[in-house]
């Protein structure tokens, strides 16, 4: 494997065009103009998660109607509540800043973890909406969850396996030329959306700089059926079917890149802001791997 310097900008210059955080895993995202960067990723990202009676995570794979749950951040001067959650047919739910339950065991796929039940009211709200007994958990700052069985390390929230996910606008545009119904970058649940460069050039990025912050690009994201959940909360066949024909590598269908901040977790931090320049510092001749 060989590497090369990417220079100071891609063709025409690349920029950070969108920032997203997803406070509750597998429900609606919050579009941001700027965000603090924390050791586990963007502020608030996947710090809450729904689990069933066995402590297993609840996602759009089994419950596509989660797609239409909307989340917004409360103003900082609201000392009592941190999130506002809304869904069709439901009264708005305010999520308290301080959970009121004792730590319980939970799982994110094969990872054992834990969380604090937020409130009886929150769990009842989600249970009613989904028709499934479930509990809303919050991950406290002292939780030690980290990546497992990968050649890199970072603290994690309730995210599947990496603290940052990046998607390229040009790659989404190329995929859309093959779809009857175009998709938007949000379909892929990115944290960072960038402009510029050729479609799928990001497969070969190894190190990038966004504004003042460096990120290691550690793997291509192997996509799953969540891509096929429509904005109306219905499971469909696209765009994963077309993406598989276009992009399959072995068992994986990669699209978008997963990243770590280029700093030890105890020194991770900073601020990202839409409009910041994106520079490819290092790229390779072979695409990033996809870890199952």
DSSP assignment string, 245-262: HHH-BTTB-EEEEEEEES
Task: Set out the domains of the chain in order of their start, with CATH numbers.
Answer: 3-24+148-284 (2.40.33), 39-138 (no CATH)
Euclidean distance between CA atoms 252 and 18, whole angstroms = 26
Using only the alpha carbons of the chain, give its radius of gyration: 19
Average pLDDT over residues 168-180: 98
The number of helices, as runs of H, and strands, as runs of E, in the chain is 3, 19
pLDDT tops 60 at residue 10: no
Each residue's pLDDT tens digit, 89-129: 999 999 999 998 899 999 999 889 999 999 999 999 999 99
Report CA torsion sign: 217, 59, 49, 110.
negative
Q: Please give the pLDDT value at position 245.
A: 96
Residue 73 token pair = 């951040």
pTM equals: 0.93
- Please state at what angle helix 169-176 crosses helix 240-247, rounded to 10 degrees: 100
């Amino acid at each position: 494997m060989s590497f090369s310097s990417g220079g100071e900008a891609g063709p025409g210059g690349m920029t950070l065009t969108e920032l997203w955080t997803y406070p509750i895993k597998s429900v609606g995202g919050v579009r941001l103009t700027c965000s603090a960067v924390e050791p586990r990723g963007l502020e608030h990202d996947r710090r809450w998660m729904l689990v069933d009676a066995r402590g297993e995570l609840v996602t759009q794979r089994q419950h596509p109607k989660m797609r239409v749950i909307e989340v917004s951040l409360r103003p900082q001067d609201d000392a009592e509540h941190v999130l506002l959650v809304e869904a069709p047919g439901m009264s708005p739910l305010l999520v308290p800043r301080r959970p009121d339950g004792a730590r319980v065991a939970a799982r994110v796929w094969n990872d054992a973890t834990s969380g604090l039940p937020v409130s009886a009211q929150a769990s009842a709200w989600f249970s009613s909406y989904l028709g499934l007994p479930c509990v809303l958990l919050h991950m406290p700052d002292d939780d030690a969850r980290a990546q497992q069985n990968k050649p890199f390390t970072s603290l994690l929230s309730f995210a599947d396996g990496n603290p940052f996910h990046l998607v390229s606008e040009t790659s989404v545009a190329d995929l859309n030329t093959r779809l009857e119904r175009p998709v938007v970058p949000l379909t892929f649940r990115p944290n960072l959306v960038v402009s510029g460069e050729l479609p799928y050039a990001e497969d070969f990025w190894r190190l990038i700089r966004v504004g003042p912050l460096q990120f290691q690009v550690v793997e291509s994201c192997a996509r799953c059926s969540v891509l096929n959940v429509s904005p109306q909360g219905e499971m469909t066949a696209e765009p994963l079917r077309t993406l598989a024909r276009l992009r399959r590598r072995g068992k994986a269908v990669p699209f978008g890149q997963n990243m770590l901040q280029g700093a030890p977790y105890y020194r991770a931090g900073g601020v990202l802001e839409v409009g910041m320049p994106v520079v490819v510092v290092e790229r390779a001749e072979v695409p990033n791997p996809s870890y199952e």
